[in-house]
């Protein structure tokens, strides 16, 4: 069982947590945190890089020492440093860091004074009123901890982007209606379009002395106001989502938006560029001494730092700063580039609308073509199609196309990839289709090698064109099946197959880092809605968000092509490479 990047990242984070509680050099702690973040976001398997003899210390922020430690973890060995730290600091203690108001110093103090090394012991101490006997713990902090424990804090889960949008947009409108408000934008990971968000960061500019904070705190959906200042306030909405609002003067709006959009790593890199020029960058602007050089817009700030404006989706310190400096930023795909949609269902299987309804709705969204991809028979609960029913659907689509103007419905299927890698319908019927989308809906728990071989075997069938939701993950609900995604991508490229970025907000599969890997490997990605109703055709935008985070340009996206070009690229007898 190979060690996956997320496991390595979590080991490194654990080291950072424990070092922090021990009071280690904060920059050493940061080095571990940055390494964890880097490893967690690498598209390639670190275990495989180690096996291939790649130099890990060529990675930014990884020196000889960390390279050695990462290689150790990647090969399944124990990290002596971690063992040592766990002897000194009880491992359960790190869970305390997740509580609001508890950082390394206070956790350390609690452990020293009362021997608290777990949430349970903290709860007991709070209940018996011992907490305020610890130096630095007054009634305020005690009350806050008691409340957090009662609410089961420490388990806050990030919410899906689409879910966050549902509460964010009305709040944004509420703030825009406030007296004296000039500009309001949502920043943070929401603006970077991460697949999930931990909280919302809102930046506003306003005329001085206007009651914007009152408007914010008085929002009807507020459960609690946890911080209330003149320039910064924090509320918790009734659904548990925390929202921060920062209000600045108009001349600082761009700087504040830049700062609160992050990511943190991107900001730090920008500040270092500013420092190298003897300038100071903060949320109020870019300064030379006391003189403000820029601040009203992000564009000005980037330009004064010798950079071109970086789209928020790329601000992860993953090479975008160098690309910006060299004017080599990608021209990211936009919703307007999308010409078609290659995965959707109808009433024939588990969809809610007819083929014609889906076609009309897609055309109204500006698409020129769609593919109808109902399930095949193996997914019985969806009333999947057998060969005979698919044959009738083919005829129905032919008749329908004859009556459509400037729009084409492609005959297709989402055929099940069975456990042995064979397809759920015979070639003789698949051959009559315009394209074949294949997907796994069963046997999720195969060993990694076997799952990978299953997908490669499915793609061996020259009738298969697109591998749908390639990892099978459901955000916040189910990890993907174990699979060597890079091997699948290489296999797809050799065979002239393509991979899907499923745009359902709970799938987003391929994810952003896999998209970037696909691009590096020269593989085209189909961004598809997998719509089960006309209303879901709009989910395309969530797919676009992740594609942009994955640096994809229109030329990397299969369904940004015209129908004629698409048909050419779907031909398996002429490999794309």
Partner DNA sequence: GCCGTTTTCGGCCCGACTGTTTTCAGTCG
- Burial status of residue 87 (CB atoms within 10 A of its CB: 0-12, 13-18, 19 or more): exposed
Binding DNA by CB under 7 A: which of 190, 216, 253, 260? Answer: 260
Q: Of 133-141, 314-322, 413-421, 534-542, which segment contacts DNA by CB under 7 A?
A: 133-141
- Position among 61, 180, 311, 462 found at the interface with DNA (CB under 7 A): 61
* Of the residues 169, 207, 214, 227, which one makes contact with DNA according to CB under 7 A: 227
| CA–CA distance, 228 with 79 (Å, rounded to integer) | 44
Query: CB of 240 within 8 A of CB of 156?
Result: yes
Nearer residue to DNA within complex by CB, 101 or 218 = 101
Degrees to nearest 5, angle at CA 13 with 12 and 17: 120
Selected binder of DNA within 31, 305, 338, 485 (CB under 7 A): 31
Lookup: tokens for 388: 């005979």
Among 12, 71, 281, 425, which residue sits at the site for DNA (rule: CB under 7 A)? 281
Sole window of 277-285, 435-443, 492-500, 527-535 interacting with DNA (rule: CB under 7 A): 277-285
What one-character-per-residue DSSP string does 430-475 give?
A: HTTSSEEEEE--S-TTS-HHHHHHHHHHHHHSTT--EE-STT--BT
Which of the ranges 103-111, 165-173, 297-305, 490-498 carries the binding residues for DNA, by CB under 7 A?
103-111
Taking every pair of Cα atoms in the chain, the longest distance, rounded to a whole number of angstroms, is 81
Region binding DNA by CB under 7 A among candidate stretches 58-66, 350-358, 371-379, 502-510? 58-66
The interface with DNA within residues 64-83 (CB under 7 A) comprises 64-67, 81
| 295 lies in the site for DNA, by CB under 7 A | no
Query: Which residue is it, tokens 């702690």?
Result: 29
**Alpha helices in 496-534, H assignment, sequence order:** 512-520
Angle between helices 139-150 and 119-127 (to 10 degrees): 120
CB of 147 to DNA, least distance (A): 11
275 binds DNA (CB under 7 A): yes
Residues in the chain: 577
- Residue 9 near residue 37, CB atoms below 8 Å: yes
CB of 198 to DNA, least distance (A): 7
Which residue in 43, 188, 384, 505 binds DNA (CB under 7 A)?
188
Q: Which is nearer to DNA, 233 or 452 (CB)?
A: 233
Contacts of 175 (CB under 8 A, 6+ apart): 181, 184, 202, 204, 212, 215, 216, 245
Which residue shows structure tokens 């691009």?
Answer: 519
Q: Which stretch binds DNA (CB under 7 A): 282-290, 346-354, 495-503, 517-525?
A: 282-290
Q: How far apart are CA 295 and CA 280, in angstroms?
A: 12
Regarding 541 and contact with DNA (CB under 7 A), the answer is no
From 128-136, 296-304, 397-405, 544-552, give the range in contact with DNA by CB under 7 A: 128-136
Binding site for DNA (CB under 7 A): 25, 27-28, 30-32, 57, 60-67, 81, 97, 99-107, 132, 135-142, 144, 188, 199, 201, 227-233, 242, 244, 260, 264, 267-268, 271-272, 274-276, 280-284
């Amino acid at each position: 069982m190979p060690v996956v990047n997320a496991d390595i990242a979590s080991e490194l984070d654990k080291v950072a947590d424990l070092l922090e509680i021990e009071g280690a050099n904060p920059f050493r702690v940061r080095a571990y945190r940055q390494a964890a973040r880097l490893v967690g976001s690498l598209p390639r398997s670190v275990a495989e890089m180690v096996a291939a003899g790649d130099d890990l210390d060529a990675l930014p922020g990884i020196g000889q020492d960390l390279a050695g430690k990462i290689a150790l973890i990647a090969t399944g060995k124990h990290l002596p440093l971690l063992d040592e730290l766990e002897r000194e600091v009880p491992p359960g203690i790190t869970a305390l860091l997740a509580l609001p108001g508890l950082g390394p110093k206070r956790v350390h103090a609690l452990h020293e004074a009362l021997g608290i090394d777990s949430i349970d012991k903290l709860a007991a101490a709070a209940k018996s009123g011992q907490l305020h006997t610890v130096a630095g713990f007054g009634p305020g902090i005690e009350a806050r901890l008691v409340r957090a424990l009662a609410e089961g804090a420490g388990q806050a889960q990030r919410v899906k982007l689409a879910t966050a949008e549902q509460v964010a947009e009305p709040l944004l409108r509420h703030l825009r209606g406030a007296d004296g408000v000039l500009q309001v934008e949502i920043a943070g990971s929401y603006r970077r379009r991460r697949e999930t968000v931990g909280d919302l960061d809102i930046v506003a500019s306003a005329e001085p002395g206007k009651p914007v904070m009152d408007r914010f705190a008085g929002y009807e959906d507020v459960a609690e106001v946890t911080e209330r200042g003149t320039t910064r306030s924090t509320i918790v909405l009734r659904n548990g989502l925390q929202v921060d609002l920062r209000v600045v003067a108009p001349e600082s709006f761009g700087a504040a938006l830049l700062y609160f959009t992050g990511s943190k790593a991107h900001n730090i890199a920008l500040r270092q560029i500013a420092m190298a020029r003897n300038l100071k960058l903060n949320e109020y602007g870019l300064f030379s001494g006391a003189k403000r050089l820029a601040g009203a817009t992000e564009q000005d700030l980037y330009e004064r730092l010798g950079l071109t404006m970086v789209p928020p989706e790329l601000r992860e310190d993953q090479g975008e700063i160098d690309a910006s400096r060299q004017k080599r930023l990608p021209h990211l795909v936009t919703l307007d580039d999308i010409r078609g949609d290659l995965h959707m269902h109808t009433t024939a299987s588990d969809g809610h609308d007819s083929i014609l309804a889906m076609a009309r709705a897609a055309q109204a969204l500006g698409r020129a073509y769609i593919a109808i991809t109902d399930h095949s028979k193996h997914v019985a609960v969806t009333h999947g199609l057998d060969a005979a029913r698919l044959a009738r659907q083919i005829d129905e689509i032919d008749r329908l196309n004859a009556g459509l103007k400037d729009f084409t419905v492609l005959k297709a299927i989402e055929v099940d990839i069975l456990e042995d890698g064979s397809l759920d319908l015979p070639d003789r019927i698949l051959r009559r289709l315009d394209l074949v989308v294949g997907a796994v809906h069963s046997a999720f728990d195969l060993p990694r090698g076997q799952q990978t071989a299953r997908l490669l075997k499915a793609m061996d069938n020259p009738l298969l064109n697109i591998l749908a939701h390639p990892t099978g993950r459901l955000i916040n609900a189910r990890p993907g099946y174990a699979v060597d995604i890079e091997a699948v991508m290489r296999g797809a490229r050799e065979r002239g197959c393509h991979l899907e970025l499923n745009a359902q907000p709970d799938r987003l599969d391929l994810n952003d880092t896999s998209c970037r890997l696909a691009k590096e490997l020269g593989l085209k990605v189909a961004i598809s809605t997998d719509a089960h109703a006309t209303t879901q055709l709009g989910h395309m935008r969530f797919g676009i968000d992740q594609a942009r985070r994955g640096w994809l340009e229109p030329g990397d996206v299969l369904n940004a092509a015209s129908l004629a070009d698409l048909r050419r690229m779907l031909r398996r007898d002429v490999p794309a490479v």
